[in-house]
Amino acid sequence: MIEKHIVLEEIDPVAFYGVNNGHLQIIKSLYPKLRIVARDNVIRVLGDSEEMERFEEQIENMRRHVLKYNTLSEEDIIDIVNGQKTKADAVKGVVCYSLSGRPIKSRSENQQRLIDAFEQNDMVFAVGPAGTGKTYLSIALAVRALKEKTAKKIILSRPAVEAGEKLGFLPGDMKEKIDPYLQPLYDALEDMIPAVKLQDMMDKHIIQIAPLAFMRGRTLSDAVVILDEAQNTTPAQIRMFLTRMGWNTKMIITGDMTQIDLPKNQLSGLKEALHILTGIEGIGVVELTKKDIVRHKLVTRIVNAYEAADKETKGN
């Protein structure tokens, strides 16, 4: 008889053990010769060495399943113990999984082009109207890179367009003033990474969220870097951002040319960058359209209505 302690690293123990330890009870029933006790993220096992070795291998397979898919079901446990593929393994083209186990993958031809461009280039521009999944899919690609250890950190940035006088009237310290501008990035991350783990990653600076102004002087290496709402950058700002690129870094720059919040006499940095950089080797440009909108069907109708109104205004 031997005893071993197995540590469930990088995953949420609650997802592993199941509601009211339901998964743990199934695991115990599948290994009646072993005495299994779990506490927090540590499983203590007592039993025969040969049975223990098999158990340890299957627990590791289950841990990897949770790490990849953010979920574990009774069927998954039985399939893994029997050496079979789980239902999730059979789904193809998945970037990563949400906390509910929903596969995050391309839902249109242009979204797939964004995924392909990210894999083939070190810098990608993704331009399109609201609701086309630019930001969400970009963050999913970054999360996948982090899980697969092809990147050591994720850096997310946005220009705080009203960072002058109006920002000063907001209550709180600088972080509290800036957070409202960065909330869409938090929302996407919270859908893919458990809250406790996300907070730990942010505390350790594995995931960094900062306004564009905080990028000056930095060299960003071994990272996936995303600049969101880039249509609201000035030419000087986006040039500064693009030149932060270091070794083993991938950049995704997203924007919507129909939602420029800059003063009317100010040229959008994204518009200038696309004009200057399109066609350069290593830089991919993906244009998404209203056909790629994956939000509520009303979003497509709203976009169409505003486009018609803009054409009418120009005509008059």
Q: Considering the entire predicted model, what is its pTM?
A: 0.78
Residue 297 or 17, more confident = 17
CA 258 to chain centre: 24
Tens of pLDDT, residues 86-143: 888 877 888 998 988 888 999 889 999 999 999 999 999 999 988 898 999 999 999 9
Residue 169 or 84, more confident = 84
Q: What is the DSSP string of 75-140?
A: HHHHHHHTT---HHHH--SEEEE-TT--EEE--SHHHHHHHHHHHH-SEEEEE--TTS-HHHHHHH
Check residue 165 and give its pLDDT.
38
Check residue 201 and give its pLDDT.
92
Check residue 164 and give its pLDDT.
41
What's the average model confidence in pLDDT over 233-262?
A: 93
Residue whose structure tokens are 């009203």: 162
C-alpha to C-alpha distance for 157 and 155, rounded to whole angstroms: 7
Tokens of 19: 């509601």
Q: Which amino acid is at 239?
A: R
CA 58 to chain centre: 28
Check residue 171 and give its pLDDT.
61
Tokens of 43: 């499983």
Residue whose structure tokens are 């996300």: 198
Q: How much is the mean pLDDT over the chain?
A: 88
What's the count of helices (H) and strands (E) in the chain, helices before strands? 13, 11
Q: How many other β-carbons are positioned within 10 Å of the β-carbon of residue 251?
A: 22
